[in-house]
Structure 1
Amino acid sequence: MDAYQYVKDKQIVIFELDDVLFPEKDYLLQVYYLFAQFIEYTEQKSAQPIIEFMRAAYESNGTEKLFEKTADQFAIDMKYKHNFDLLHQNARLPLKLLLYKNMLEFMQELVVDRKQIFIVTASNPEQQLNKVKQTEWNGLEQYLTVYFVEELGLTKAEIFQNILNSNNLSPNQALVVGANKFDEQQSKLINLPYIVSLEIYR
């Protein structure tokens, strides 16, 4: 079925960012690249082996204790954990983040059909804002309303409900597009229709 059939009777569509609109790894791997370059500059340790190690560790086990593993492998002082964390929040990326092609086309269709687009994103607000600022939106940015869950101190379900209330809509007039069980559970709490972002590609 054409992805747009999911929203033909909807007024608004709510998205998460990571692994929904673009691959989270596209951001993280650039952060790791910048950190390795920083270590090369400050400690005269070759950046390339550090980059390769961090990429492999991330692809095998995700972000868990990634700095500690890297520090142990390359004898990097723990004082640089602060720089590592800070880069996640304010890194100036070498390359802009690119939307999944089909997701870009889907969102463009939403705009043409005058449907409202919301982004409700969890994780560190500064980091998520940094991602938003460094994404190539292809003109879509003017149609986006973004909510940062941690900044508001509300659950996703509460933010979803507030969006419905402020637009005088019922749950069946909206759709949530997510990528994990948590997003699905939060949607179900207020009876919001939900689809996994991968379904957009079929």
Structure 2
Amino acid sequence: MDAYHFAKDKELIIFELDDVLYPEKDYLLQVYYLFAQFLEYSEQLNAQSIIAFMQTAFEENGIDHLYEKTAEKFNLGQKYKYNFDLLHQNARLPLKLLLFKNILDFMQSLVIDRKKIFIVTAGDSEQQLNKIKQVEWNGLEKYLTVYFSDEMKLTKAEIFQKILNDNNLQTNNALVVGANKFDEQQSKSLNLPYIVSLEIYK
């Protein structure tokens, strides 16, 4: 999709975060790596075995019950569930999170064209902020305005409408970039133009 052409007549662009701006697995797999290192230190378990198990389980079935599966495999019980959850919120990653190349190019073009850029993200607000802090923004961070829907206790659609209202714009003046059916439904509920991030090309 030629998003560059599509965005020409828009005044602001709204992005989700996970799997829109960067691959969420790049964050999660580093969290699992840190957790495995923690268990090696705490329980004298082999970190490589743990991370290999967690990575396979994640790739096959996603994040659902990943702690429980790992705890069962390595006989941990619920002892480290708090640590596992806390790491998701405050992990200091070994590697920066890199934007998708097509998204980086697109966002840089938006800045050049003086478009307003918003991020509206769902999920645990502390965790989402932690991700944002560890993205390599290449100087784009000063042009971003971020809304956390869970913290605001609003739906994404309600935040989209707030952004439009605050900027005195109509739906045809904005564009939403998402990655899943939920993002699409929230956009379409307001008749906001919507595109899928991975389909953006020049």
What TM-score do you get using the length of structure 2 for normalisation? Answer: 0.98
AA of the residue aligned to 2:85:
D
CA distance in 1, matches of 2:5, 2:60: 37
Could you list the per-position Cα deviations for residues 86-120 of structure 1 after superposition, in whole angstroms to 9, with x for gaps in the alignment?
00000000000000011001000000000000000
User: Alignment length, in residue pairs?
Assistant: 202
Tell me by how many angstroms 1:134 deviates. 0.4
The separation in 2 between residues aligned to 1:198 and 1:95, in whole angstroms, is: 22
- Separation in 1, partners of 2:100, 2:188: 26
Residue deviations 1:160-195, cap 9 Å, x none?
Answer: 000000000000000000000101111111110001
Quote the residue 2:15 is aligned against: 15
Matching residue of 2:61: 61
- The alpha carbon displacement at 1:77 in A equals 3.2
| Partners of 1:198 and 1:77 in 2: CA distance | 39
The residue number in structure 2 matching 1:98 is 98
TM-score, normalization by structure 1: 0.98
Instruction: Report the CA distance between 1:37 and its aligned residue.
Output: 0.2
Matched, 1:88 2:84: no
Identity of aligned residues (%): 74
Q: Quick one: which amino acid aligns to residue 68 of structure 2?
A: E
Structure 1 equivalent of residue 194 of structure 2: 194
2-structure distance, mates of 1:150, 1:127: 11
For the 8 Å contact 2:2–2:201, the answer to whether it is kept is no
Q: Which amino acid aligns with 1:148?
A: F
The 10-residue stretch of structure 1 (28-37 or 74-83) with the greater mean CA deviation from structure 2: 74-83
The answer for unaligned runs of 5 or more in structure 1 is none
- Does 1:138 find its partner at 2:141? no
Distance 2:3 2:150 in 1: 30
Q: Mark the runs of 5 or more structure 2 residues left unpaired by the alignment.
A: none
Runs of 4+ in 1 over 6 A off after TM superposition: none
* Counterpart position of 1:113: 113
CA RMSD across the alignment: 0.9
1:2: Cα distance to partner?
A: 3.4
Residue type of the alignment partner of 1:45: L
